[in-house]
Amino acid sequence: MTNNKMDIYENRRQQASQTKNKIFTSATELFNEIGFDKVTIRDICKKAEVALGTFYLHFNSKHEILYEIYHKADDLFEYKQISERKDLNTFEKIVEIIRIQLSMASTFHLKSDSIKQLYIYQIESDNKYFLSEDRKLFKQLHKIVEDAQLDGEIRNDVNSHDISWRILRFSRGIIFDWCLHNCDYDIMEFGIQETTFYLQSFRK
């Protein structure tokens, strides 16, 4: 591929990424303003100033827009490389991962209605990305736990894979409880306290 063709390809890729982000931002703003159920795809297209066909090039439904949060979160995990940080000990690294996970609602300015819809979509959809062990979230958490077992910091009577899943189930339970309470408490303060307490059960 010539340099010129590569430049054209890269420009198109960047434009597509910008358009997708514009649709995502416009949609989440509308979800917060008037509620997820009341927003139509045409409303989103109008706010984002894109054609209906352009919307479907990037998303198949409104719910898929919310699901994009997980891809954006994984980009953040990859960027931060928490598992490689030298300034944090094992348990601080795990808490930092959970902190980022719990902060997704505030990071993307999502209100309780959108978070609830995201959980509904997870339950009803065939999309298994949420549970994929290829996600950066799981990979980094698993590496931290695995390394800590080798260093004798975390108990090894339970394998690293199972411990990683137990921690993720716990953190997702916090988010679910927050939704049940209509997001009326500080999930960051409560979530970090509970996670720190729970992690003591894995100390060697």
CATH number of this structure's domain 1-59: 1.10.10.60
What pTM was estimated for this model as a whole?
0.82
Residue spans per domain, the chain: 1-59, 62-202
Band of the pLDDT at 4, cuts 50, 70, 90?
Answer: low
Query: Residue 1: is its pLDDT beyond 60?
Result: no
Q: Is-contact 163 145, C-beta < 8 A?
A: yes
Query: Residue 107: is its pLDDT beyond 90?
Result: no
Q: How far is CA 106 from CA 19, 37, 131, 144, in A?
A: 22, 20, 22, 25
Helix, strand, coil percentages, rounded to 5, for the chain: 75, 0, 20
Residues 201 and 163: their CA atoms lie apart, in Å, by 10
The confidence score (pLDDT) of residue 192 equals 96
Output the average pLDDT for the chain.
88
| CATH-assigned architecture of domain 62-202 | Orthogonal Bundle (1.10)
| CA dihedral sign, ordered 117, 118, 120, 124 | positive
